[in-house]
Chain A
Amino acid sequence: MEKIVPTIRQAMDAKGYSRRDFMLFCGLATAAAGLELTGLTQVIQAFETKPRPPVVWLHFQECTCCSESFIRSSHPIVADVIFDTLSLDYTETLQAASGFQAEKTRDDCLKNNKGKYILLVEGSIPTGGDGAFCMIGGKSSEQILKEAADGAAAIIAWGSCASNGCIQAAKPNPTTATPIHKIINKPVINVPGCPPIAEVMTAVVTHVLLFGKIPELDSQGRPKEFYSRRVHDTCYRRPYYDAGLFVESFDDEAARKGYCLYKMGCKGPTTYNACSVTKWNGNLSYPIQSGHGCIGCSESGFWDNGPFYKQMESFPGFGIESTADTIGAVATVATIGGVAVHAIGSAIRKRKVIQENMDESVNLHPSIPPPAPDKSVTEMHETNGGDENGKSSS
């Protein structure tokens, strides 16, 4: 019966990929896993013989909004993902078994698929307090993460918790909540957002399987496919911004006409995410479209960049050719050797300066009156792009 279900190799054949492509894919997976070259054969064999790649989904300090978002995916629908595409061998949210039986599914998967499974992590790790702030099965979250990361072929950090610490890492970070890339010495694909968009989550997973390679990442380890544009750059209300037409108060006449929410504190201009293009819940809406400014939930440290309803006086970068890397270029220069390059190794192309980078000044469109100085906004600029949470621990 196993032959009925296509293996990764068969699936790639069917999509027209050559043996060479397949070898390249396996090489990338091996590099990503940090395995010795001798492990390459093992990885090739794994994807050729396993009908569906084994996946372990861990939960730490989180609210499960990432899992909830994942099951909202409209394309592909999640039933097809978990029954046809992947073998979700451990997931506390959905699996039938509890307790000992649940832990056994995880331990068996790690043991039997060393170097061949994909690790998905939802939640941050509290590194202090002797591990007592998050314990599962009597073990600390840090111990569980390290054990699972050890033999993973690829690691994806779901959401802002795992990518940058999110709410529990907001000041004063009472439980020393830490993003996973600071703890494990391996490649991590960061998929931030609170939560990330459902279709972005399923796309990141299937990107690896469909195209046989890890998506290109920016300096913060985020797939460029979804995190290279600011919400502001592709916002359908952008023309109102350019025309200087703003909402001045919730539900005023301008709000009822759908003008720009910049003055209501919208963080779209400093937030890298796919919301205004991919949108939410089957391409239906996104926060700005429903009348509330973006709170910047995919940006590191966004909880401390508020208050949410305070107008940003200015923001770095201008024009849609700006990317997170170019805007954060100065601030991130010290971290370029950090998470992305270290993490993905040869699997990604090296970060290059975008040649078409336009005016990087903080000058706004002439139609907007020059802002008055404001301390809280200045602080936000300093943390944008190259914040400390984007650094690698290595």
Chain B
Amino acid sequence: MARVVVDPVTRIEGHLRIEAVVEGGKITDAYSSGTMVRGFEKILKGRDPRDAWAFVERACGVCTTVHALASVRAVEDAIKISVPANAELVRNIMFCTQYVHDHVVHFYHLHALDWVDVVSALTADPVATSDLAKSLSNWAKTSPGYFSDLQKRLKSFVESGQLGIFANGYWGHPAYKLPKEVNLIGVAHYLEALEWQKEIVKIHAIFGGKNPHPNYLVGGVPCSFNLEEVNAINTEKLNYVGKLIKDAMNFVEQVYIPDLMAIAGFYKDWAGIGGGLKNYLVYGDLPTKGYAYPEHFKFPRGAILNRDLSKVYDVNGKDENEIKEYISHSWYQYSVGDGVGLHPWKGETEFNFTGPKPPFEQLNVEGKYSWLKTPRWRENPMEVGPLARLLVGYARGNQEIKEVVDGALSQLAVPIDALFSTLGRTAARGIETRLAARWLKEFYDELIGNLKKGEMNTFTREKWEPETWAAECEGVGLSEAPRGALAHWIRIKDRKIDNYQLVVPSTWNASPRDGNGMRSAYEEALIGTPVAKDGEPLEIIRTIHSFDPCLACAVHLYDPDGKTLHQVTVE
């Protein structure tokens, strides 16, 4: 038996540490710890609620925009306004843009190196690679010369002896299964995706002024339309957005999806690994008839328990019996006692660090061991993210979602149960990217239609001045970040923020276990994950990356007495 510590877990956002117990070549227990805290909730107290979006947007620069959206919705819910149709459409376009960007970057730049062996690509045959690439899609860059030039560049990079981001990778690890030619295609598209990703976010720059961290606005969106003015969103800017959407659809359909399917075909064993929790939670998003009507969201709202797709439970963010946060294993204290769960409207954020003083080698996992709280839905641990969204949509009988899910399953010749896995999570992200790209076009066309009808409004003015608000009010903003269910709760008193709480996707997935010893999603998904090679946590990061963590994490190896090893001893 060995204690494996991975810290930092790289190719994620934030600071995450995983400690895992390995027995007989498999993980038998795991602990997930968030090791950084900033205290947003304390900083927001007393501020102007209309400013909150900008503060909370800085919770994450990778899934930029999502917190801003949840925030403006929370405030709009509290002061009781809805936004004009055009504002909803611009928000939806920015939302889908974020999905397409974030999922492509995750696949190629944060996750691919778990599956693609860069060193193996050095000896691929460029002609065979070209033939294979042409068989996968109609993408233009598939000539033998293209792959040959790329390989030469890669060789000279490796032979320089300075491996940069590829240094100390797990190259040659037995868990890498791709043919050399697929690896070379993977490297080529890593670079192409890196160059392309800076284009798609220009949609954010057009509507929101910049990316990362574009601008949002309580009551609508800050940009204005004017088809007779160079100084507003006009035909030229709309054409630009249209072109970027077209390119995005091409990239997703011609590069991302073919690569995903090709790679997944060689890793079907990972459809039986990393399933973890059996419960899934989705708030839903992409309103088509306004945020007040979740039954018309593109991503349906709901919860699934015990993988029973025949029943979807309704979810209500305002019901104080549904969502509660616990701190039994979190470095906080509650005024009402640490064993109690609090609904976010009554949430508290008081630090209480009881862990070992750094530098340390091992956390005390019997006590508090993370800066993340532990959220529960009706006392159940829940997985959130692309897989949860597709499952709830599928179980709700949503035709668009059923079509893409069934198409992928049939292409891979696997049953729907294959989705409950590390591979399923990674595939789900790609599958929903196809939808996000299509919906981008749909929302764009609808926006053009509105403008054609002369509908220009992007902002609701009536409740802009705080004097028009109730002296005390409260709201919740529910959304679906790329990584999963995201919600912000706000209490406003005397026109200032009285309490603000965020429960983010990685809180659901990466949190420590609860007071009853029930593990959250990361910890549960690692159970049973194989560890083939001493000292190399490739399989661990594969499963952890399948969640697309929004934390930075780390792995170290420990022996049963808690002493740090730099080798995992596998019995």
Q: A residues touching B (Cβ–Cβ < 8 Å)?
A: 1-2, 4-5, 50-52, 54, 59-69, 71-74, 77-79, 82-83, 86-89, 91-105, 129-140, 143, 166-168, 170-175, 177, 194-195, 198, 237, 249-251, 255-258, 275, 280-282, 284-292, 295, 297, 303, 306-309
Instruction: Determine whether the beta carbon of A195 is less than 8 Å from that of B61.
Output: yes
Interface core residue of A100, A140, A143, A306 (most chain B CB under 10 Å): A100
B529 vs chain A, min Cβ distance (A): 14
Interface core residue of A1, A64, A137, A280 (most chain B CB under 10 Å): A137
Q: Point out the residue from B40, B205, B566 that lies within 8 Å of A284, measured CB to CB.
A: B205
A366 vs chain B, min Cβ distance (A): 24
A37 vs chain B, min Cβ distance (A): 28
A346 to B205, CA, bound (A): 40
B117 vs chain A, min Cβ distance (A): 10
**Which residues of chain A are within 8 angstroms of B91 by Cβ–Cβ distance?**
none
A94 to B106, CA, bound (A): 10
Chain B residues with a Cβ closer than 8 Å to the other chain, count = 111
Instruction: Determine whether the beta carbon of B224 is less than 8 Å from that of A83.
Output: no
**Which residues of chain B are within 8 angstroms of A99 by Cβ–Cβ distance?**
5-9, 537, 554-557
Q: Point out the residue from A93, A131, A167, A256 that lies within 8 Å of B43, measured CB to CB.
A: A167
Q: B residues touching A (Cβ–Cβ < 8 Å)?
A: 5-15, 17, 35-40, 42-43, 47-48, 50-51, 54-55, 58-62, 64, 109, 113, 118, 153, 156-157, 159-170, 191, 194-195, 197-198, 201-202, 204-215, 217, 219-226, 229-233, 331, 351, 353, 355-362, 456-459, 461, 464, 535-537, 541, 552-557, 566
A297 to B210, CA, bound (A): 12
Q: Point out the residue from A170, A237, A250 that lies within 8 Å of B220, measured CB to CB.
A: A250
With A51-B160, A101-B536, A105-B167 known, 9 other A-B pairs at CB within 8 A are A2-B159, A86-B164, A93-B13, A95-B165, A96-B11, A102-B8, A136-B552, A174-B38, A287-B208
Nearest residue, chain B, Cβ from A99 = B555
Given contacts A64-B60, A67-B61, contact A72 B165 (CB under 8 A): no
Instruction: Determine whether the beta carbon of B164 is less than 8 Å from that of A82.
Output: yes
B126 vs chain A, min Cβ distance (A): 19
A259 to B558, CA, bound (A): 62
**Which residues of chain A are within 8 angstroms of B166 by Cβ–Cβ distance?**
95-96
A51 to B158, CA, bound (A): 12
A249 to B458, CA, bound (A): 12
Instruction: Determine whether the beta carbon of B222 is less than 8 Å from that of A291.
Output: yes
Nearest residue, chain B, Cβ from A62 = B61
B76 vs chain A, min Cβ distance (A): 14
Given contacts A131-B358, A292-B209, contact A287 B51 (CB under 8 A): no
Nearest residue, chain B, Cβ from A161 = B58
Instruction: Determine whether the beta carbon of A98 is less than 8 Å from that of B555.
Output: yes
**Which residues of chain B are within 8 angstroms of A65 by Cβ–Cβ distance?**
58, 60-62, 64, 212-213
Q: Point out the residue from B50, B207, B458, B541 that lies within 8 Å of A98, measured CB to CB.
A: B541
Instruction: Determine whether the beta carbon of B164 is less than 8 Å from that of A306.
Output: no
A309 vs chain B, min Cβ distance (A): 6
**Which residues of chain A are within 8 angstroms of B223 by Cβ–Cβ distance?**
290-292
